[in-house]
Amino acid sequence: GAVVSQHPSWVICKSGTSVKIECRSLDFQATTMFWYRQFPKQSLMLMATSNEGSKATYEQGVEKDKFLINHASLTLSTLTVTSAHPEDSSFYICSASGRSDTQYFGPGTRLTVL
Amino acid sequence: GQNIDQPTEMTATEGAIVQINCTYQTSGFNGLFWYQQHAGEAPTFLSYNVLDGLEEKGRFSSFLSRSKGYSYLLLKELQMKDSASYLCAVRDNGNKLVFGAGTILRVKS
């Protein structure tokens, strides 16, 4: 089956620093990657959609200057949380889809901002 | 707008059958997905329906009625490891997934 990895699996950082999260599709080419955020006991909320080689499309209410997304290749997308604050602490999950359009999810990254 | 409803919690007994319902009202429809999510982990794909009817995959089956905006996930021969959150998600015409809040299923022995 399709495998998507994320790195790191968890990260703790100080307020004001930036954190980069990587999402990789390991055995297929992901034409589209999605970034979600999930707060405790809540469902996944889509943050942005990115297609390889083009700018990401952000959902309403998501600051594009704060959450920088790069999708430079068909197997890698990165999310950078800039100047992180405690309210950015959350579970960040990426998903990738290729030809089948089914989204396969990465294992998630738990971000804690102190 | 987008609205997806599913029960918050359900409890069932090991070995039994449980049905988790999902109703949706979305601006576009290009398929309905069910995912399983264990606490602290990412969702795992379970099933996909785009046409009306029942899709069966082992102990899991999923049903869709597009005219009623309704789907259900049926889990048979419940096992303790099935305790998890089950997410119903509708894909809109633009390939985005809109998730329901999830149903927490507790399987008791």
Residue B71: burial class (beta carbons within 10 Å; 0-12, 13-18, 19+): buried
Question: What's the mean pLDDT in B15-19?
Answer: 97
Q: Which residue of B has its CA nearest to A42?
A: B101
Residues belonging to chain B: 109
Distance CA A105, CA A107 (A): 7
Distance CA B1, CA A50 (A): 23
Q: Residue A79's pLDDT band (boundaries 50, 70, 90)?
A: very high
Q: Residue A1's pLDDT band (boundaries 50, 70, 90)?
A: low
Tell me the two tokens of residue B54: 């029942």
Supply the pLDDT for residue B32.
96
Of B41, B97, B102, the CB nearest to A103: B97
Q: Which percentage of chain A shows pLDDT scores above 70?
A: 99
Summarize pLDDT for A3-58 with one digit per residue, the tens: 899 999 999 999 999 999 999 999 888 889 999 999 887 888 999 999 888 889 99
Contact B45 A104 (CB under 8 A): yes
Supply the pLDDT for residue B33.
95
Question: Is B46 an 8 Å CB contact of chain A?
Answer: no
Question: Is B91 an 8 Å CB contact of chain A?
Answer: yes
Q: Which residue has the tokens 């998730």?
A: B99
Residue type, A110: R
Bridge partners of B44, per DSSP, are B36
Q: Which residues in chain B have Cβ-Cβ distances shorter than 8 Å to A34? A: 96-97
What's the gap in Å between the CA of A75 and the closest CA on chain B?
Answer: 19
Supply the pLDDT for residue A55.
87
Question: Is B48 an 8 Å CB contact of chain A?
Answer: yes
CB pairs under 8 A between A and B: 46
| A86 CB-side CA count, 13 A | 1
Contact A107 B41 (CB under 8 A): yes
Q: Residue B92's pLDDT band (boundaries 50, 70, 90)?
A: confident
Summarize pLDDT for B31-82 with one digit per residue, the tens: 999 999 998 888 898 999 999 999 999 999 999 999 999 999 999 999 999 9
How far out from the chain centre does Cα B28 lie? Answer: 18
Residue type, A18: S
